[in-house]
Amino acid sequence: MEDRDTLVNLYYTMVLIRRTEEKILELLLQGKLASSMCHVSIGQEAVATGVCSAMQPQDYLTSTHRGHGHIIARGGDLRRIIAELLGRETGYCKGRGGSMHLVDVQLGHLGSNGIVGGHIGIATGAALWSSLQNDGRVTVAFFGEGAMTEGIFHEAANMAALWRLPIVFVCENNQYAMSLPWTHATAEHSFARKGEAYGMPGIEVDGQDVLAVRQVALQAIERARRGEGPTLIGAQTYRFLGHSRGDPSPYRDKEEEARQRARDPIRLYQEHLFREGIMTQADVDALEAKVAEVIADAVRFAEESPPATLDSVLEDVFA
């Protein structure tokens, strides 16, 4: 059994992601974001939260265009995240990456990426270095199911399994890649079969159940750390909103949306916590208040920060 702190932290993280992204959408509508690119993960919080909770401090991860949740769950600095989105010099990328390029090398977060699947290479390489050095670290590569049909996924999965690299491939299957349903992306939907092609276990998990995700991730990460090689996790989840702003998702069935939204991972987990007597409504209210404060502080920090400058862009072309 998990201790109370862990269980409450999972809830806190999910709420923090949700509220932060709600705030980001608000800032977006106010025209405050410095870049037009912004993809929120509302509805998918349990995956980032469950997986990151299973990681050790020394571990690495790489992330996607829909990566706010990953960096928040990894303990990223909300101030620097919001500052990045507002295009400030204090942002994680000094304002020049925006929502798609968050990174925190101190936390082993090796960057989110605008090229679907592009960062899987970096993740594989980090795991290769860990394997060569035998440094005990594990790398987690998050990606959407859209990345599964890109060539780089194939090459990375094959190499990782071949060399038993300490990496966990976490597919957040939110059922759509922009407008393309997963049913129209591939003829084989079993993650077990997809993993087996490389000689690697493929495990499906309910991505709306944070505890289930955590369990599967703990096992896969420990397996990787023991030197037994990679695992492919297929976390079944759903993108509650459109692909990005201005996408009302007309290509999705409204009934399907309603059915999926009914399985809100935060609400499901809250019910569980209430049922098990781990948290009360009062606890939740206090937690929400704390989250609101943290977010308000981050926004304040960002808004007071100096804007990004061209000079710093010019300085950073070469290391």
Partner 1 sequence: MRRIRYREALREALREEMQRDPRVFVIGEDVGRYGGAYAVTQGLLQEFGPKRIIDAPMSEAIIVGAALGAAVVGGRPVAEIMYIDFATLAMDQIVNQAAKLHGMFGGQLKAPLVIRTQQGTGRGAGPQHSQSLEAWFAHVPGLKVVMPATPYDAKGLLKSAIRDDNPVMFIEHKGLYALEGEVPEDEYTVPIGVADVKRPGNNVTLIAYSNMVHTALAAAQELSQIGISAEVVDVRTLAPLDMDTLIASVTKTRRAVVIHEASVFGGFGAEIAASLQERLFDILAAPVRRLGGLHVPLPAHSQLEKQVVPGVTQVVQVVKEMIGAEVAVRSTSA
Ligand X SMILES: Cc1ncc(C[n+]2csc(CCOP(=O)(O)OP(=O)(O)O)c2C)c(N)n1
Which residue is associated with the tokens 């399994």?
161
Residue number of the CB closest to ligand X reads: 144
d(CA 32, CA 38): 12
Binding residue for partner 1 (CB under 8 A) from 2, 12, 28, 155?
Answer: 155
Residue 20 CB partners (closer than 8 Å, separation 6+): 68, 72, 78, 81, 82, 295, 298
Range 64-83, binding ligand X (CB under 6 A): 65-66
CB of residue 230 to a copy of itself, shortest distance in Å = 10
Asked if 290 interacts with a copy of itself (CB under 8 A), we say: no
d(CA 84, CA 225): 33
163 vs 274, which CB is nearer to a copy of itself?
A: 163
Asked if 186 interacts with a copy of itself (CB under 8 A), we say: yes
Range 171-190, binding partner 1 (CB under 8 A): 177-180, 184-186
Asked if 145 interacts with ligand X (CB under 6 A), we say: yes
Residue 38 CB partners (closer than 8 Å, separation 6+): 24, 28, 85, 98, 99, 244, 245
Asked if 176 interacts with ligand X (CB under 6 A), we say: yes
Give DSSP secondary structure letters for 120-145: HHHHHHHHHHHHHHT----EEEEEEG
Asked if 170 interacts with ligand X (CB under 6 A), we say: no
Binding residue for a copy of itself (CB under 8 A) from 18, 119, 194, 223?
Answer: 194
Range 33-92, binding partner 1 (CB under 8 A): 34-37, 60, 87, 91-92
d(CA 207, CA 139): 20
Asked if 315 interacts with partner 1 (CB under 8 A), we say: yes
DSSP β-ladder status, 60-63 and 231-236 = unpaired
Binding residue for a copy of itself (CB under 8 A) from 6, 105, 184, 259?
Answer: 184
Range 146-205, binding Mg ion (CB under 5 A): 146, 174, 177
d(CA 255, CA 205): 23
**Range 292-296, long-range pairs (CB < 8 A, 24+ positions):** 292/19, 294/16, 294/78, 295/16, 295/19, 295/20, 295/23, 295/78
CB of residue 19 to a copy of itself, shortest distance in Å = 38
Give how far Cα 234 sits from Cα of 17, 72, 120, 194, 208, Å.
21, 21, 15, 10, 12
Stretch that binds a copy of itself, among 134-142, 147-155, 255-263, 303-311 (CB under 8 A): 147-155
Question: Which one, of 151, 126, 129, lies nearest residue 141 by Cα?
Answer: 126
d(CA 121, CA 209): 28
d(CA 133, CA 47): 29
Name which of a copy of itself, ligand X, partner 1, none residue 187 binds, using a CB cut-off of 5 to 8 Å depending on partner kind: a copy of itself
Range 66-125, binding a copy of itself (CB under 8 A): none
Stretch that binds partner 1, among 22-30, 128-136, 201-209, 292-300 (CB under 8 A): 128-136
With CB under 8 A, what is the number of residues at the site for partner 1?
76
d(CA 292, CA 275): 25
Asked if 198 interacts with a copy of itself (CB under 8 A), we say: yes
Stretch that binds a copy of itself, among 71-79, 150-158, 171-179, 261-269 (CB under 8 A): 150-158
Asked if 159 interacts with partner 1 (CB under 8 A), we say: yes
Tell how far CA 129 is from the center of its chain: 23
Asked if 144 interacts with Mg ion (CB under 5 A), we say: yes
d(CA 146, CA 173): 8
Contact positions toward a copy of itself, by CB under 8 A?
149-155, 158, 161-162, 164, 184-188, 193-194, 196-200, 229
- Per CB under 6 A, residues contacting ligand X are 65-66, 114-116, 144-147, 174, 176-178, 239, 243
